[in-house]
């Protein structure tokens, strides 16, 4: 029993040492990262101050930016932006009207084209009827002349063909 207890105690001590080592390593890593972060922040601040100094030394840049780094022309540009926005809206409205007019013209052309197609189809139908009537008349005349020549049937006057009535 003592042996089991001793093994458990050794195991617990080993786990404590292991956990303590991990904690110490974690603290060291955190400390190193904090130091690195502070150095980077300091370097960034210095670099920012150098850039600000150069900007303030430039006449053009110093007119645009304040010492805090904010734009000075923000209030002025908002007023100009309002006028530009109105001009842009007017321009867009004009473009919209032009596009609507173009769409209406295109629709009108489409309707006109459909009407023309329908008219041509009616004419085609009428012509097909006339052609069929002419074929029937020619075939009938040819058949009658063949029959007359062979003497199988007495001569009959050809039937007058009437042009077909156009349907609307």
Task: List b or e across 102-127, with b for residues whose CB sees 16 or more CB atoms inside 10 angstroms.
Answer: eeeeeeeeeeeeeeeeeeeeeeeeee
Residue with token string 């007017």: 90
Q: What is the pLDDT of residue 92?
A: 87
Residue 65: phi and psi, rounded to 5, are -105, 145
Q: Are residues 67 and 48 in contact, defined by beta-carbon separation less than 8 angstroms?
A: no
3-state secondary structure of 153: coil
Q: Are residues 156 and 144 in contact, defined by beta-carbon separation less than 8 angstroms?
A: yes
Q: Where are the alpha helices (DSSP H) in the chain?
A: 2-57, 59-64, 74-150
| Residue 75's pLDDT band (cuts 50, 70, 90) | very low
- Higher pLDDT, residue 56 or 163: 56
| Residue 102's pLDDT band (cuts 50, 70, 90) | confident
d(CA 78, CA 75): 5
Q: Where are the domains of the chain?
A: 1-72, 93-168
pLDDT in tens, 114-149: 888 888 888 888 888 888 887 778 778 888 888 888
What are 65's strand-pairing partners? 71
The pLDDT of residue 48 is above 80: yes
Q: Are residues 155 and 148 in contact, defined by beta-carbon separation less than 8 angstroms?
A: yes
CA torsion 11-12-17-23 (nearest 10°) is 130
């Amino acid at each position: 029993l003592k042996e089991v207890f001793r093994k458990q105690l050794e195991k617990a001590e080993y786990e404590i040492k292991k956990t303590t080592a991990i904690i110490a390593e974690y603290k060291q890593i955190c400390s190193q990262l904090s130091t690195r972060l502070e150095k980077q922040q300091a370097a960034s601040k210095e670099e920012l101050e150098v850039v600000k100094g150069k900007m303030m030394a430039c006449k053009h840049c110093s007119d645009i930016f304040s010492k805090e780094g904010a734009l000075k022309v923000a209030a002025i540009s908002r007023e100009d932006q309002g006028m530009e926005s109105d001009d842009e809206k007017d321009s867009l409205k004009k473009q919209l009207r032009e596009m609507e007019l173009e769409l209406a013209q295109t629709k009108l052309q489409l309707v006109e084209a459909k009407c023309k197609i329908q008219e041509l189809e009616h004419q085609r139908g009428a012509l097909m009827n006339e052609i069929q009537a002419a074929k029937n008349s020619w075939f009938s005349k040819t058949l009658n002349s063949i029959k007359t020549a062979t003497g199988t049937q007495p001569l009959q006057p050809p039937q007058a063909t009437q042009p077909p009535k156009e349907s609307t």
